Structure 1
C-alpha cells in the first residue's frame, strides 16, 4: 500500500480527499496549514476527520498559520466559516501532536527515504519551510503531488489558483527546490465535477454519507451536467492511479511580483524536461469510478 503524508487546509474538498486517502492509502501523517480558513480551524477539522474516518493514531501536526511574506488570504465564502460548510462532525477527543508541521515532514521523510509520497493540497508554506530547513527532503520524498496552479486560468482571480495565490513565495521555493512537482491544477480539477448521478452514488454509504453529501452540496448547485469540482481529491486519486491523468513535462515558475498576476503558475511546455509534470487531461469517468468505489470500501469499514 502506498504510504503518504498529507499536508492540507481542511476545507471541504480536503475532507473529501482525506476520505479517499483513508480508503486505500497508508496515511503516515497529516499536517495542517492556514489556508481555506485559519490554522486553528483547519487543525480542528483535521482532528475531527481523523476520528470520523477512524484513522487511529495518525499524527496531526499543525504548521504555518499564514504565508511567508504576505497578508492572509482565506476562502470562507467557498468553504463556510468553519471550513467544512454544512458538515457537522463530532469534536475530536485527541489533541494535535506537538511540534511544527515542517519539522514533522522532515523527520518523517528522513526516517523512510524514498518510501513516502508527499501530497500537498493547501498553500505550500509548510512544504517550503521544510525545504528551507532541510533541503534533503527533496531527495527523501518518493514523490511530491500538489493540488494547485493552472496553465490556463485562475479561480481566486483571473491569473492565480487559490493555493498558490495564498503563498506565492512558498510555491516558488517548492517548484525551484530540485524535485519534480506533479501538479494537479485547475485545468484537470475543474473537470472533476459532482453530477447528480455522482451525488446519488454518494448516498446510502452509511455514516460516511454524513460527510460526503453535505460537503458536496455546500459547494454549489449540482445538476446532471455537473456542479462543483472536488479539486483536492484529484491529487489523491493520482497517487492511487497516475494513469487517470495525462501529464506533460514543463517548466513552471511562480509569479511573485506581478501587480495583477501574483500567484500565477507560468508554465512552459517547450521543454523535454522541466521541474514539473503538469496534468492536462483527467479521465473523468475512471476518476469517479475509482473515487466512489473507494468510498464504498471505506463505508463498509466504518459501518
Structure 2
C-alpha cells in the first residue's frame, strides 16, 4: 500500500540538531511534504534561529528552495528567555563554509502561518516542534478552533525521567513551560519524544565518520556539527558523542514504528522551584487521569541511524 506524503510544519530553534532533523525531513519527500518552517527563541536568539533556518534550507538544495520561513516568538510566554549557546555555539550552527539563505523570511508571524495552514488543510497537518512550544501555544490560544483540525503534534521535548538543563527539566520544556502546558492541555493528538529515548541515540565517532563518508556537503556539515556537539557531551555526560534529539522526533513522524509508545497523562510544572519545566509523566496510571499524549519509551536505535544516513546521503 502506498501513502501520500504527510503535510508537516517544522517548528524549531536551530540549533545544530534541529538542522540535522530538518535535513532529514527535507530529504524524505515520499514521506513528508514540508509546508513551511517556523522559528522560535531557544538554543540561540530568534534572529539567529531564523537565519539558521534559511541556511538549513539552502543546504538541502532543491528540496529546500521553495520552503518558506516564518519567524515567530522571540521570548517565552511568561519567563525570561534561556539560551543553549554553550551547547550549540554562539551562532547555533558551528560549522564552516555554510551557504547563505536563499530567501528572506516571510512577513507573516509563525503562529499566524500555523493557524492559516491548519484551517486550509483540516485534519491533514502534523506539527513537528523541536524547540520551545511558544509558537504552537500562541496558535492554539489565538485560534482554539484549530485544535480539532490538527492531525498531530510530534514534539521533541520533556522526559519521563531526568532533565538536561536542570536535574528535573529538559531544555525545550524549561524554555517555556507555560507554553508546553497549554499544548498538553489542548486536546490535540500529541506524541512526546523525550530525553529518555533521545539519549539512547548517540552520534558516536563511527556514526559521524559514516556521515562524513557520504561525500556530500550535507553529510560533511552534519559531521562537523555533531563533532562540535560531541565535545560538549563528552565533558558533561561522559558519552562518546552527542544525542540525536531532534532528528529522532522527525523520524517519529516518518517512521513511528521505530519507537515504542505508551499512552500517559503528562503535566508540565510551571511553578518556580527545583522542578520548574519538569514533564510529570504518569507512567503507571496512578493518578487515574486520562492520557493526553503518546510518550516514546523505546527506540530501535540502529534502524533509526540507518534511516538518517540514507536520507542525508540523498542531499547535495
TM-score by length of 2: 0.91
Q: Which residue of 1 aligns with 2:227?
A: 217
User: How far does residue 272 in structure 1 lie from its aligned partner after superposition?
Assistant: 8.6
1:130 aligns with 2:147: no
Q: 1:281 aligns with which of 288, 291, 298?
A: 298
Q: Which residue of 2 aligns with 1:38?
A: 45
For the 8 Å contact 1:248–1:277, the answer to whether it is kept is yes
SS for the counterpart of 1:234 is helix
5+ residue gaps, structure 2, are: none
1:131-170 to structure 2, matched below 5 A, reads 131-170=140-179
1:76 aligns with 2:85: yes
Mean Cα deviation higher: 155-164 or 273-282: 273-282
SS for the counterpart of 2:114 is helix
Q: Hey, which bits of structure 1, 4+ residues long, moved more than 6 A?
A: none
| Cα distance in 1 between the residues matched to 2:87 and 2:97 | 16
1:206-235 Cα deviation digits (max 9, x unpaired): 111232111110102499x84110100010
Q: Which residue of 2 aligns with 1:257?
A: 271
SS for the counterpart of 2:27 is helix
1:113 aligns with 2:115: no
For the 8 Å contact 1:144–1:181, the answer to whether it is kept is yes
For the 8 Å contact 2:77–2:179, the answer to whether it is kept is yes
User: How far does residue 155 in structure 1 lie from its aligned partner after superposition?
Assistant: 0.2
| Cα distance in 1 between the residues matched to 2:302 and 2:219 | 21
5+ residue gaps, structure 1, are: none
| Cα distance in 2 between the residues matched to 1:180 and 1:268 | 17
Q: Which residue of 2 aligns with 1:292?
A: 309
| Cα distance in 2 between the residues matched to 1:50 and 1:112 | 23
